[in-house]
Structure 1
Amino acid sequence: MKLLLILGSDETFNLVSHYIKPLGFDLIRYNHVQKAMDNIDEVDPAGLIISANDFPRHWKILVHFVRVDRDKDRCPIVLLTGEKFPLEEASKAFFIGVSGIVPETLGEPSLVVKLQNILSRYMPVEEKRRAPRFLVEPWQRCALIFANPLNKVIVTGEVKTIARIGLSFHPDYPSLLENLYPGTLIPECSFRLDNTILSPECRLTRVGRIIALEFINILPGEQAVLDAYLENLPLQELRYHTPGLP
């Protein structure tokens, strides 16, 4: 599976490749946008990463060119940006078909996770990466409550990560779950995503200070809501940090 990197900086290439290679991609790098465009049909990449910092006048041309024949599901495009990337440019990037935007310094672990998740969200990478987990940020309207199946006590807490197959959760009072063990079915759950309440049946897969729940039965319509929510996270994040953006 080929990933095309259009990067002028050796330092950026080394940094990005360090975090992307473990996902199982074959990396192909070009230093020039025109050469990448000339060879894209021959390479037929599963995805692209381009630096807006290295190619400030040409990244839009490349995105337009790729999107003529390759939609997001076939070929995600990640835009790497510098520190002063304008917010209006970020909005345009999503509009013309960029799948995600990440600062090229990758200075925080959450940014590395974000880059990996953007790619694995669209691609059949290694099996263990097929359902990437997303860190739940404070601005997200994401919450869970459920009933302990043994005594019906209501459990509240904080959702820490979310994926299409489950989530991790920090209960407010871990002692309320001391009588539960991995494998326990939890049928009564209310899972909020923005303004929608989902009701998946779950299985407890990890116990401790932070527990893990697997969705074992979720209605098709609710699964579609969850998939759409994860798909739109990059745009939601941009809107949160850009007041007034439609």
Structure 2
Amino acid sequence: MIAVIIAESEDYIKELSQKLDDEGLKIIRYTWLLKALDNLEEINPQRIYVNALDYPRHWKTLVQYTRGNFIEKKPEIFLYQIDNFGEEEREKAKCLDVKLIADVKSLRKIEQSLVMINPHTKKLILGTVSLLKNKSIVFNCEQNESVLCLKPSDLIQKAVLKKNKAISEPVLKISSISQKTLHLEML
């Protein structure tokens, strides 16, 4: 998968690039929105990330362009914004089917989630995915009790993983346990 980042802020580009690189995405960066527009059809990205702080008006042009030129498979568009992003702008983004993110860390909530059933207690294991790379998962459990009887090499047969829009039911093997953190491998 290819992701295009359009931003002037080097800090934003660096932080987002690291996050997307961890997912195994090929990343193409632009600091000029018009240059990115010129190359989008050739690149044919699956995702586009635009910093609305750098391009407060031009992001709408980019969205209209992609909607008109990508007929079969339109890329997902993510718009970075902060609290002072007006309600009217939020509504425009919503109408244009653009996903809003407040910071790079919030991408994790948008892109991946995991629910499992403890094979010993048959209870749900709830928490958050802090890393999903290749077949490795680092999962932070909400409660200590949910992992008490688990041990390395246990298999979790009942799990649902959502990554972007794809949902799968992987079999997971516990590599290690550290307090409320599970290190898992997808089999």
Within 5 Å, give how 1:224-243 maps onto structure 2. none
Deviations 1:39-93 (A, max 9, x none): 2357636343333334433321220111212379663322122322134532431
Where does the alignment leave 5 or more consecutive residues of structure 1 unmatched? 104-110, 122-132, 135-141, 217-246
2:13 is aligned, of 13, 17, 32, to 17
Whether 2:127 is the aligned partner of 1:159: answer: yes
- Whether the 8 Å CA contact 1:191–1:199 is kept in 2: the answer is yes
- Whether the 8 Å CA contact 1:2–1:45 is kept in 2: the answer is no
Within 5 Å, give how 1:89-104 maps onto structure 2. 89-98=89-98, 100-103=99-102
1:190/1:81 Cα in 2 relative to 1: closer, same or farther (>3 Å)? closer
Provide the rounded CA distance (Å) in 1 between the counterparts of 2:63 and 2:11.
23
The two structures have a TM-score, normalised by structure 2, of 0.62
Within 5 Å, give how 1:47-86 maps onto structure 2. 47-70=47-70, 75-86=75-86
Where is the strand percentage greater, Structure 1 or Structure 2? Answer: 2
Within 5 Å, give how 1:137-152 maps onto structure 2. 144-148=116-120
The two structures have a TM-score, normalised by structure 1, of 0.50
**What letter is aligned with 1:50?**
V
Identity between Structure 1 and Structure 2 (%) = 18
Within 5 Å, give how 1:77-226 maps onto structure 2. 77-98=77-98, 100-103=99-102, 111-115=103-107, 133=112, 144-148=116-120, 153-155=121-123, 157-161=125-129, 168-170=139-141, 171-172=144-145, 174-177=147-150, 180-182=151-153, 184-187=154-157, 189=158, 201-209=171-179, 210-216=181-187
Deviation at 1:154, TM superposition (A): 4.0
Q: Secondary structure at the match of 1:82?
A: coil
Q: Secondary structure at the match of 2:60?
A: helix
- Whether the 8 Å CA contact 1:20–1:116 is kept in 2: the answer is no
Deviation at 1:199, TM superposition (A): 7.1
1:88/1:203 Cα in 2 relative to 1: closer, same or farther (>3 Å)? farther
1:87/1:146 Cα in 2 relative to 1: closer, same or farther (>3 Å)? farther
Provide the rounded CA distance (Å) in 2 between the counterparts of 1:2 and 1:191.
25
1:116/1:175 Cα in 2 relative to 1: closer, same or farther (>3 Å)? closer
Q: Secondary structure at the match of 1:85?
A: coil
Higher relative contact order (CA 8 A, sep 6+): 2
Provide the rounded CA distance (Å) in 2 between the counterparts of 1:72 and 1:94.
21
Q: How many residues align?
A: 168
Deviation at 1:115, TM superposition (A): 4.4
Deviations 1:6-62 (A, max 9, x none): x4xx5xx211122244425242221xx55554x235763634333333443332122
